[in-house]
């Protein structure tokens, strides 16, 4: 059986990752792969309830971090691991790198705390491939300014997103074997051509 593959998509809000999800899924389906699209926070019934709280309800950074990982554990147990076990490609719109970027970089939660939660919730489990959509914060925040009903994260200022972008780029430099950084400021066909090459081994 073809082994399952776990692909995660990351980037600051407004960096354009959502635009490319259908293309990535179609590319892999055209090769005969079963593709499961999912997201964090969310991906399960309980996870989607936690998502609503996380995006709307005021809470302290530690609570936010714990709820992200609570949703993640459900997602892993109920959705991600079973799909990988049957040979699917699981594409998750965000995963644990987002906790290091947003909760550590953005909110200032110590990296060691998030690393402890990571170890507890997922052990050594990591994505096979992480696509980081990268864009200067001046551009991504401009895109967010047009959002209709901004959530708790989207309401934050450019400094917050600058710290998140830097944290993501630091993660990419730390784990070059699984990260691919995509310059999201280019025309869509150019990005798609690059994505196709990056997905060649999946
Ligand atoms: P989304 O808008 O990309 O679906 O993500 C929802 C928000 O949740 C986004 O602003 C990033 C944030 N987030 C975290 O802060 N930490 C996490 O671990 C995850 C998965 C998302």
Task: Please list the pLDDT of the chain residue by residue as tens digits (202 residues).
Answer: 789 999 999 999 989 899 999 999 999 999 999 999 999 999 999 999 999 999 999 999 999 999 999 999 999 999 999 999 999 999 999 999 999 999 999 999 999 999 999 999 999 999 999 999 999 999 998 888 887 899 999 999 999 999 999 999 999 999 999 999 999 999 999 999 999 999 999 9
Q: Which atom of ligand 1 is nearest to the CA of 96?
A: 18
Neighbours of 162 (CB within 10 A): 17
Tell me, using a 6 A CB cutoff, whether residue 51 lines ligand 1: no
Q: How far apart, in whole angstroms, are the C-alpha atoms of residue 88 and residue 91? A: 9
**d(Cα 199, Cα 195) in Å, to the nearest integer?**
6
Ligand 1 within 6 A of CB of 41? yes
Instruction: Classify residue 87 as left (phi > 0), alpha (psi -120 to 50) or beta.
Output: left
Q: Whose CA is nearest to atom 13 of ligand 1?
A: 98
Q: Indicate which atom in ligand 1 lies nearest the CA of residue 152.
A: 10
Distance CA 198, CA 35 (A): 16
């Amino acid at each position: 059986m073809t082994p399952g593959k776990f692909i995660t998509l990351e980037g600051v809000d407004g960096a354009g990752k959502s635009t490319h999800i259908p293309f990535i899924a179609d590319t892999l389906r055209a090769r005969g792969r079963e593709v499961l699209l999912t997201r964090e926070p969310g991906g399960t019934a309980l996870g989607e309830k936690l998502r609503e709280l996380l995006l709307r309800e005021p809470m302290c950074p530690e609570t936010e971090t714990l709820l992200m990982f609570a949703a993640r554990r459900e997602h892993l147990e109920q959705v991600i691991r079973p799909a990988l076990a049957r040979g699917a490609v699981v594409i998750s719109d965000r995963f644990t790198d987002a906790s290091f970027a947003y909760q550590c970089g953005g909110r200032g939660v110590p990296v060691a705390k998030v690393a402890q939660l990571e170890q507890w919730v997922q052990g050594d489990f990591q994505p096979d491939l992480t696509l980081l959509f990268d864009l200067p914060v001046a551009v991504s925040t401009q895109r967010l300014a047009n959002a209709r009903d901004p959530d708790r994260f989207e309401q934050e200022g450019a400094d917050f997103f600058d710290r998140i972008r830097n944290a993501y780029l630091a993660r990419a430099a730390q784990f070059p074997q699984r990260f691919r950084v995509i310059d999201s400021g280019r025309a869509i066909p150019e990005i798609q051509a690059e994505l196709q090459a990056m997905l060649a081994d999946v």
